[in-house]
Amino acid sequence: MRDRYMRNIDYARISVTDLCNLRCIYCMPEGYIAKNYKSLNLSEIDNIINALVGLGVKKIRITGGEPLLREDIIEIIYGIRKYSEIQDIGITTNGTLLSAYAEKLKGAGLNRVNVSLDSLKKDVYKVITGGSLSEVLNGIEHCIELGMKVKINMVPIRGINDNEIMDFINLTENQDIDVRFIELMPLGPGINYLGMSSDVIKGLIKNLTPVGKEQNSGGPSEVYRITGYKGRVGFISPISHSFCATCNRLRITSDGKLKTCLHSRDEIDLVPVIHNIELLKNKIAEGILEKEKEHRLNIDNISNSIREMVRIGG
């Protein structure tokens, strides 16, 4: 389905929980308590997928919180896979539980795994997340061994992990993985830290060659190859290079709210119509038609969203 700016909205990110087992400093507000009891159940998620498929959505990413904390996460993936119209199913995870779930996820039909990983140093990782780096690295290795497509998402933060850029790039030398650098957004606790521009990071790397459109996933990432490296390097630049003009996605929160722009205050409650597919389709279609032209990050210097990222879904 196209919005009023003729963007084809064919990609949905669905959060299945706001629970998380990490406390990332730029994501999780201090003292935050998840309200997981409001999360959509399996049949409600299926109704949403059904409605999205009817509107032309072809790509689904499951997010959280930490989606692997859902006891029925495998059933959720199976439920999406039954829709032949869905061409790509992915999940964004912090990776701490990947070793236990990777094989079952692949068997359920998962195409790709995006792992949030902001440091390769165990002490720095502990400072940023409060978690164990070894669990994440083991999970990534397991996914690679299973032949799954792996993308690593790294958010550079000045004075904390900005000296690890080349360490992350070197991960792509001998492994067919994508490492993507994401500009820190002024959203929630992220306003307390200073990120790095993608242009600054590009300046550190030699022999970057842009990939052709046929090699890109159609997402917001600018993707490059480095001469002689197996993997690829990507840049997601919502601050320095807004991609609003080509935005093809919408988000659904774990408590059933539709957000057509990450940084907008606007939300549409889908719960009252969630058991009627036609009404649900109509409600989502209304939201798509009202999708904003662009965010105001470069004007307001802060996100206008009324939710922190953990309550939206990555």
Q: Is 5 assigned to a binding site?
A: no
Measure the CA angle with vertex 312, ends 307 and 10; round to 5°.
135
Residue 225 assigned as binding residue: no
27 is in an annotated binding site: yes
Q: Which of 189, 210, 68 is CA-nearest to residue 129?
A: 189
Is 59 annotated as ligand-binding? Answer: no
CA distance 1 to 185: 28
Is residue 20 a known part of a binding site? yes
Q: Residue 92 annotated as binding?
A: yes
Confirm or deny that 311 is annotated as ligand binding. no
Question: Which single residue is written with the structure tokens 């359920």?
Answer: 108
CA distance 299 to 302: 8
70 marked as binding residue: no
Q: Is 24 part of any known ligand binding site?
A: yes
d(CA 113, CA 88): 11
Establish whether 23 is an annotated binding residue. no
Three-state DSSP state, 210: strand
Buried b or exposed e, range 79-108, using 16+ CB within 10 angstroms:
bbeebeebeebbbbbbbbbbbebbeebbeb
Query: Is 180 marked as a binding-site residue?
Result: no
Annotated binding site for GTP: 13, 61, 92, 151, 249-251
Annotated binding site for S-adenosyl-L-methionine: 26, 65, 116, 185
Annotated binding site for [4Fe-4S] cluster: 20, 24, 27, 244, 247, 261
Annotated binding site: 13, 20, 24, 26-27, 61, 65, 92, 116, 151, 185, 244, 247, 249-251, 261
